[in-house]
Structure 1
């Protein structure tokens, strides 16, 4: 039995940074990872996918060159081998950077292997027993594969495997109309594939307000992406080199060369031996944590995607910040203080913070709402990218901003003005009288705020 001050299982976007902080304090820590340092973000998520998005946008802009007076003769050709290699280079640079950084930690042991609990303070990895008074779980999540009829007969792709494609699909069927599926759909359409999105629900991006969902559908439809919603009976039939995807009774099947299953993710908690430690999970497998990220077992914490309190790199990293503040710096930070914010990286992107209009209405608060089309934004017109709109929701009595959405050019960056204001507790009249820089996307925010109306 080897004893440590802390053991970390999983090396995503929380564990390594907290382990490093503890190591810098002279604590002996073990960081256990069964595959790659960096977790989903570095290896199969943000970094490789946004690199692919950048390649796809380059192709899109090249095709539109004539609109800007830039004449490109000949066809725009995509070399998928180079596209894939570029994404892999970004991943490997980040992963190797983590390896080098952690290797210099004098009081940290990095161990590669599968760890399982044998008790509330002990784990086994590679046949060796380790113990610590504090154990941190940062094991992430993986794609969900529903039991669709015929799925066992086809070779399907997931968000993890599709990033390694070095050939262009003839026709990509994307099963799932949420964030991951939408990003890959537009990306591969811009690479030149025919793309069809098949969604079981009534609309795309169902967590968003209906007007946002409709605008997203318009963006994708304008690029020639077919969308089938209310696909209540999805099934697959192998047909030579193709796959026939049925979407419901009386509906024509979609003939696809490749199928991407993008129907959600599930936490990697089913092989940790949580029962041996007495750690509780919810019905979906997410580890139950309190406001300071501790499980029901004293000394065991869950960080990142596996705790169900956020599914993004930035929320995982914020879990590290919360744990570090409370355990090392003598702070008192809480998960419940975090204002949710995220982006959807289609082009133009969606930046979102706080409540949707639907959530604000359901809260019982007296609310105010305002929106403006992106065609009112100078930068959008100058760039020739005017699709989308801005929307802000505020509370009438307190004048606090409750939430906002910016679907449009640079929406993922412009939304930070709202994020900062909400975190600072700034009322909308104060933000309304700021003087933004022209010409920017953010300069429309005071105009939108000035037109807030009670509903």
Structure 2
């Protein structure tokens, strides 16, 4: 039986963060991966979807060319070329990653499952290690809907295998995955209908942000059915039939394709965690402490599988915390990071820290200020004035509690505020900061000038 210092099960985005440090420390490492190397981000998440979004933005700019004084012919989407570009970029990233792993580790292209707390079965082989890292990520959560097994539904993985543009894409779920794909396919020319069980989209955001997102997407032709309950799914004549209830009315709509985007679930199936004494919570996420350790202190769980974050950057940060703890016995903690994320509809939506809803839930006293993107020169120059910028500060101090930026450049500008919050920089120092003109970021310091109590 082969023995290692470390066994890594899964190859999500913490992998590239932790391996160089472990290899420099002379650790013997085995890596187990049953699917494509790189996890969700490289293969089915960030890399391909943002590539797709970039093509969709190009299509939209062709449609809007007249606004800029540019005359073009009718824009026609060559969907096969769009997907060729998407697959070229993600395949290159994944295959390059795997080649590197095969060079620097013992790579096992199989499923991994625990035999005991130090032994893992990789394919038909048993291997052991002093330290084991679970990094298997998350997968699409499939709701138990009557008839779903009878239709060829898509998730965020399967939709990337399409070779023809959907005529009418039905989307179940009005949050990140559903809205990003929905807008992109609408821009390519598909009819898109989104069904959301809740009363508004992206429910974790403040209601005014949800409303604004709906208005911006509806202006592009995306159709929405909020407060809708899916009753059943069935196959029609070359179509998918979705039967739903809205209020007291029952309705039916037919589409050519169905995307299920109803959340994510931890990818723990087949790991046999019980054999290793690894505990999970009521949602199936692996319980970890502030260093990523499970109930078995030599077994770590990093990334989406631990439920402490659902993004590539939180996975990477988990890896940084692990390295600091494992190699140096340092004090970095998962709980020390300030939550920050972006949603890549166009314009993007980004948030760091708290919004009004979260601050009120915690019973905090706060001041808030906002500015419409229509007041930002850079947005005007780009004719992208949809959206808003909002900030929250602690009442009676200069501490920044959070910010929501929804508009052109928001995904980049949010880093300015994330840095300030992580470093504990008061907003008054931002007000003293000189930022180049014309940029979206230059308005952030002035945004704090209008702080006031919430209405």
- The two structures share one fold, judged by TM-score above 0.5: yes
Q: Which residue of 2 aligns with 1:140?
A: 137
Q: Which residue of 2 aligns with 1:430?
A: 429
Per-residue CA distance 1:388-429 (angstroms, 9 max, x = gap): 100001101232111101100111011111111101101112
For normalisation by structure 2, the TM-score amounts to 0.97
2:397 and 2:283 map into 1 onto residues whose CA distance is: 37
1:428 and 1:177 map into 2 onto residues whose CA distance is: 33
1:24-63 alignment to 2 at 5 Å? 24-63=24-63
Whether 1:410 aligns to 2:418 is: no
Structure 1 stretches (4+) deviating beyond 6 angstroms? none
Question: Shift of the alpha carbon at 1:365?
Answer: 2.0
1:147 and 1:103 map into 2 onto residues whose CA distance is: 39
Q: Which residue of 2 aligns with 1:329?
A: 328
SS in 2 for 1:236: strand
- How many matched pairs? 452
Question: Shift of the alpha carbon at 1:362?
Answer: 2.0
Gap regions ≥5 residues in structure 1: none
2:339 and 2:331 map into 1 onto residues whose CA distance is: 19
2:140 and 2:101 map into 1 onto residues whose CA distance is: 28
8 Å CA contact retained: 1:16, 1:31: no
8 Å CA contact retained: 2:230, 2:242: no
2:315 and 2:257 map into 1 onto residues whose CA distance is: 32
Question: Shift of the alpha carbon at 1:153?
Answer: 1.4
Per-residue CA distance 1:176-200 (angstroms, 9 max, x = gap): 0011100000000000000011001
2:20 and 2:444 map into 1 onto residues whose CA distance is: 40
Q: Which residue of 1 aligns with 2:307?
A: 308
Question: Shift of the alpha carbon at 1:16?
Answer: 4.4
8 Å CA contact retained: 2:65, 2:71: yes
Per-residue CA distance 1:359-382 (angstroms, 9 max, x = gap): 112222210011110000001100
8 Å CA contact retained: 2:365, 2:394: yes
Match of 2:185 among 184, 188, 204: 188
For normalisation by structure 1, the TM-score amounts to 0.97
| RMSD (CA atoms) | 1.1
2:15 and 2:76 map into 1 onto residues whose CA distance is: 42
Q: Which residue of 2 aligns with 1:215?
A: 212
1:251 and 1:216 map into 2 onto residues whose CA distance is: 26
8 Å CA contact retained: 1:270, 1:285: no
Q: Which moved more, 1:134-143 or 1:23-32?
A: 23-32
Q: Which residue of 2 aligns with 1:179?
A: 176
SS in 2 for 1:453: coil
2:124 and 2:257 map into 1 onto residues whose CA distance is: 41
Q: Which residue of 2 aligns with 1:166?
A: 163
Per-residue CA distance 1:120-158 (angstroms, 9 max, x = gap): 111111211111111000001111111111211111111
1:115 and 1:26 map into 2 onto residues whose CA distance is: 24
Q: Which residue of 1 aligns with 2:260?
A: 261
Q: Which residue of 2 aligns with 1:368?
A: 367
Q: Which residue of 2 aligns with 1:17?
A: 17
